[in-house]
Structure 1
Amino acid sequence: MATRNRTEVTEFVLLGLASWPEMQPIIFGIVLAMYLVAVMGNALLVIVVLLDSKLQTPMYFLLSQLSFIDIFLTTITVPQMLVHMLPVNRTISFNCCIIQLFFFMTVGSMEGHLLAAMAYDRCAAICDPLRYSAIISHRLCLRITLTSWVVVSLNSLLYSVLVTRLTFCGNEVTHFFCDITPLLKLSCTRPVVNEMLIFTEGVAVVVSPFFFILGSYARIGVAIVRMHSVAVLHKALSTCSSHVMVVLLLYGSVIRMHLRPSSSYDLDQDHQIAIFYTVVTPMLNPLIYSLRNKEVKGALQRLFRKLCILGNFQPDYQANREW
């Protein structure tokens, strides 16, 4: 195979779901519907948290940030995937591919950091409820969020720069967006430095929030056992169950998709995981938090009542203006 320098690769061809050509129309409709549900569901959750005074707490601030991340994550990848499923040009320029890689890795890593911050919030609320307001504040949550953005951005920038320095032997990316693993597969030589970073620095940035979450829930479990209270156990389960489900959805797919050698890359399996991670999980997150959270359901009901009241007054307002 002829070696071609990276400067000769001015664009990549995203093959998308080329292995399932007969399923393209069905997949297009399903993915489009899930994308719309994900965007509208997360946007509604952000609006409710911003407008409802009862949700102006650090926990719901973090939840609104998680919804914003989900909107960003699915929008980075899904619209391009849908366009490339149509009989049109499937190319993406080299620079746009690297930019997409940077934002995808940044947003994907940021989701884990937010879930870790939410685990810390739940740990403080259950293990030290009397000092909760002193431990957790809006200022602390804002600091955690901004610091996390800086860390994941620098991490993604490092990966993106290293990818631009690779020598490619082709430009056909066996994926529906520019991700690190399929790009490494195009390298003419084994990208040892990149793979070492994935299993060292990548683990530190991406997986360390997961271990922090495990530590937080271990502390919660110890606190519940010491209290010997069924009421406390029930409250902890109702408080943490939604968060645990979201954590399992995220890290179950992320660890399988990214933290492994590129030699074990499997096209069909990775496409399924990527679709689940970029489409299904962002769609399920707002449903999990809204359906299993009484405060969010109450805020949604209050918002809809306000909209109905405004809708009922609107005709009278227009009639008075005409009169």
Structure 2
Amino acid sequence: MDLVNHTWTQSFLLAGFTTTGALQPLAFLGTLCIYLLTLAGNLFIIVLVQADSRLSTPMYFFISALSFLELWYVSTTVPTLLHTLLHGRSPISPTVCFVQLYVFHSLGMTECYLLSVMALDRYLAICRPLHYHALMSRQVQLWLAGATWAAGFSAALVPARLTATLPFCLKEVAHYFCDLAPLMRLACVDTGWHAQVHIAVIGIINACNLVLILGLYGGILRAVLKLPSAASRAKAFSTCSSHITVVVLFFASAFIVYVGPPESLPEGTDKLLALVYTFLTPFLNPIIYTFRNKEVREAVRRVTQSIRAMMKRP
């Protein structure tokens, strides 16, 4: 599929964030540090799940799948953010711009589907414990993980294609990466119909996945409340708390930015909100799943002890 509008021959300009004087190097260094910590944290989760056999469960497989996704997700937008912080307004070719738009939304929708799969995993673990490992076999895990990527990259074709075929009269994108609303503001034609299609595609996918997650957690809540002891109820809820936190961060920001017409948000607001789901959430995910999870903390201790023991050997 050709994502590029061939009638557009000039480069777009990414406005980025306005930083001057001493704030510019500080903003760049702070963003770079958080980006590197995000990459390191998500890589750490992936390596830890592979290194510790006790984490070879469906739940941690999907957590590592989420970390793998976040590596790509954050790397789709943050390099352009760093470039604009360092150099100010930065040109970006139409090809790169529309590819970035497509990949970003593909990964975002993939994460939306993956969060639903993770909720399904928790539902089966708590509500169908006797059949859990049979229902969530390794083959099923791989199939579900692959299906989330296929669904996400297929769904993103519609908004990316529609936006790429618009005629553009302006070239400055009021954002730090190529996103739907900032690009649609540059069009020479009325984009009301395009906005409705975007809302329908992205809104329906987000809404359906959110309804599915809420329904699964409704079943989990009913099952947990039937448990005989407070300790068993607390243990069951603890396995869901990290996932719930990530779901709230992801869906809250996504609905505010994308489920509404582009003009519904003041210019620049979507740029600030985008930092939540493109930058802050990938940074927080490893922290949420590490420090709020006793099994992960114990796995870190076991792996650390194993490494120390290996280093002490002659």
Of all paired residues, the percent bearing the same amino acid is 36
User: Alpha carbons of 1:8 and 1:125: their partners in 2 closer, same or farther (altered >3 Å)?
Assistant: closer
Is residue 263 of structure 2 the alignment partner of residue 263 of structure 1?
Answer: yes
Hey, what's the Cα distance between the residues in 2 that align with 1:306 and 1:91?
Answer: 49
Aligned residue type for 2:153: S
Hey, what's the Cα distance between the residues in 2 that align with 1:53 and 1:160?
Answer: 41
* Farther off after superposition, 114-123 or 145-154: 145-154
State the partner residue of 2:69. 69
Aligned residue type for 1:256: I
TM-score by length of 2: 0.92
State the partner residue of 1:145. 145
State the partner residue of 2:159. 159
Hey, what's the Cα distance between the residues in 1 that align with 2:189 and 2:20?
Answer: 31
Aligned residue type for 1:297: R
Q: Is the 8 A contact 2:167 2:187 kept in 1?
A: yes
Is residue 87 of structure 2 the alignment partner of residue 87 of structure 1?
Answer: yes
1:136-191 Cα distance to aligned partner (Å, 9 max, x none): 22211211121221111111122221112101111100000011111111112222
Q: Map 1:9-88 onto structure 2 (within 5 A).
A: 9-18=9-18, 20-21=19-20, 23-87=23-87
> For structure 1, which runs of at least 5 residues remain unmatched after alignment?
317-323
Q: How far has the Cα of 1:312 moved from its partner?
A: 3.6
**TM-align CA RMSD:** 1.8
Hey, what's the Cα distance between the residues in 2 that align with 1:224 and 1:206?
Answer: 26
Hey, what's the Cα distance between the residues in 2 that align with 1:183 and 1:8?
Answer: 13
Hey, what's the Cα distance between the residues in 2 that align with 1:38 and 1:207?
Answer: 28
Q: Which has the larger radius of gyration?
A: 1
User: Alpha carbons of 1:140 and 1:290: their partners in 2 closer, same or farther (altered >3 Å)?
Assistant: same
Q: Is the 8 A contact 2:17 2:176 kept in 1?
A: yes
Q: Map 1:59-208 onto structure 2 (within 5 A).
A: 59-87=59-87, 90-208=90-208
* Farther off after superposition, 20-29 or 47-56: 20-29
Shift >6 Å, 4+ stretches: none
User: Alpha carbons of 1:266 and 1:232: their partners in 2 closer, same or farther (altered >3 Å)?
Assistant: same
Q: How far has the Cα of 1:59 moved from its partner?
A: 1.1
Aligned residue type for 2:230: V
Hey, what's the Cα distance between the residues in 2 that align with 1:89 and 1:218?
Answer: 47
> For structure 2, which runs of at least 5 residues remain unmatched after alignment?
none
3-state SS in 1 of match to 2:130:
helix
Residue correspondences, number: 309
State the partner residue of 2:291. 291
